[in-house]
């Protein structure tokens, strides 16, 4: 399929189309968390991840594409969408960000430094407004890679933001929720060192696990961890608190209802300094 034969993409807050089934790396999505149109980049079409979150909403049932994130292909796809957006919007939606997200962990991808260079160059060339963010969604595992170090300053100066996944609070919850062999201390140390230098957004998924009852006390250790991060000099731009919106990896993971999310957000706002944005199962807070 050529870029000129783009499939008929459904855009809307309830649509989550990926184009990876067409061998594509870039997909437009209208996202509540971005507040409009986001150009998503799927750097992990092979669907590999070094976490195995119980709530993961990546569909791994189908065959994974053994598609390397080829830089020339990525550049061609990005140019296709940026050309389409040259008039200012696409189907009535204005571009809010270009987001490295997709079906796995972007910081495990070898060519990530070159991808960051490409994004900075395209943002300059297309004269994208300063408010158009470059967003890296990450579980943080590869943030301290030596070959990324030289890029972070320019990335942040160009409106780049790192959105760090944090929905655990100790070694046991990391093992239970995210099912990774990576160590809790290592991930938190990485977040601390990185967040002391550059502001981060925390992305935290809250959900019912195995019929447990909702309780605010359950999240006290999360609150304490975020407090410790702030006290140690980490700049947290905001916390995005969300629950499940799509079919998760494990059926025993189910969304908290709107009332439970309201109570949780009220507690986080009472106890924590960073702003809290709330996303329900069916949408965002008005």
**Residues that bind ligand SF4 in the complex, under the rule CB under 6 A:** 49, 51-53, 56, 58, 104-105, 139, 165
Instruction: Region of 158 please: left (phi>0), alpha (psi -120 to 50) or beta.
Output: alpha
Q: Minimal CA–CA distance to 115: which of 49, 70, 81? A: 70
Q: Which pairing describes strands 133-138 and 160-165: parallel, antiparallel, or unpaired?
A: parallel
Rounded to a whole number of angstroms, the minimum distance from the CB of residue 88 to ligand SF4 is 32
Residue 233 CB-density burial (10 A; 0-12 exposed, 13-18 middle, 19+ buried): exposed
Rounded to a whole number of angstroms, the minimum distance from the CB of residue 233 to ligand SF4 is 26
Rounded to a whole number of angstroms, the minimum distance from the CB of residue 238 to ligand SF4 is 19
Compute how many other C-beta atoms are within 10 angstroms of the C-beta atom of residue 222. Answer: 23
Per the listing, tokens 């629950």 go with 243
Q: Which is nearer to ligand SF4, 46 or 262 (CB)?
A: 46
Q: Which is nearer to ligand SF4, 51 or 184 (CB)?
A: 51
Q: Which is nearer to ligand SF4, 53 or 261 (CB)?
A: 53
Beta strand ranges found along the chain (DSSP E): 26-31, 36-42, 95-101, 133-138, 160-165, 200-205, 207-209, 236-242, 253-255, 276-279
Q: Cα–chain-centroid distance for residue 30?
A: 14
Q: Which is nearer to ligand SF4, 49 or 245 (CB)?
A: 49
Rounded to a whole number of angstroms, the minimum distance from the CB of residue 100 to ligand SF4 is 12
Q: Which is nearer to ligand SF4, 144 or 250 (CB)?
A: 250
Rounded to a whole number of angstroms, the minimum distance from the CB of residue 182 to ligand SF4 is 11
Rounded to a whole number of angstroms, the minimum distance from the CB of residue 97 to ligand SF4 is 18
Per the listing, tokens 């943080």 go with 140
Q: Which is nearer to ligand SF4, 96 or 107 (CB)?
A: 107
């Amino acid at each position: 399929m050529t870029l000129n034969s783009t499939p008929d993409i459904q855009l809307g807050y309830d649509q989550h189309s990926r184009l990876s089934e067409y061998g594509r790396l870039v997909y437009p999505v209208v996202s509540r968390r971005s507040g409009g149109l986001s150009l998503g980049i799927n750097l992990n079409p092979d669907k590999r991840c070094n976490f195995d979150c119980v709530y993961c909403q990546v569909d791994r049932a189908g065959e994974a594409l053994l598609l390397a994130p080829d830089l020339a292909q990525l550049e061609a796809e990005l140019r296709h969408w940026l050309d389409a957006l040259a008039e200012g919007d696409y189907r009535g939606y204005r571009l809010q960000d270009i987001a490295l997200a997709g079906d796995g962990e972007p910081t495990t991808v070898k060519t990530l430094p070159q991808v960051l260079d490409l994004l900075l160059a395209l943002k300059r060339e297309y004269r994208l407004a300063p408010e158009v963010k470059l967003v890296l969604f990450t579980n943080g595992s590869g943030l301290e890679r030596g070959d990324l170090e030289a890029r972070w300053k320019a990335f942040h100066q160009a409106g780049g933001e790192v959105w760090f996944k944090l929905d655990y609070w100790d070694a046991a919850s990391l093992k239970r929720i995210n099912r990774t062999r990576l160590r809790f201390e290592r991930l938190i140390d990485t977040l601390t060192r990185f967040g002391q230098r550059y502001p981060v957004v925390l992305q935290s998924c809250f959900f019912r696990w195995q019929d447990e009852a909702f309780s605010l006390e359950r999240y006290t250790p999360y609150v304490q961890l975020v407090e410790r991060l702030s006290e140690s000099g980490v700049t947290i731009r905001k916390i995005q608190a969300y629950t499940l919106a799509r079919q998760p990896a494990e059926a025993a993971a189910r969304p908290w209802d709107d009332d439970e999310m309201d109570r949780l957000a009220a507690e986080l706002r009472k106890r924590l300094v960073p702003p809290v944005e709330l996303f329900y199962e069916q949408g965002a807070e008005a």
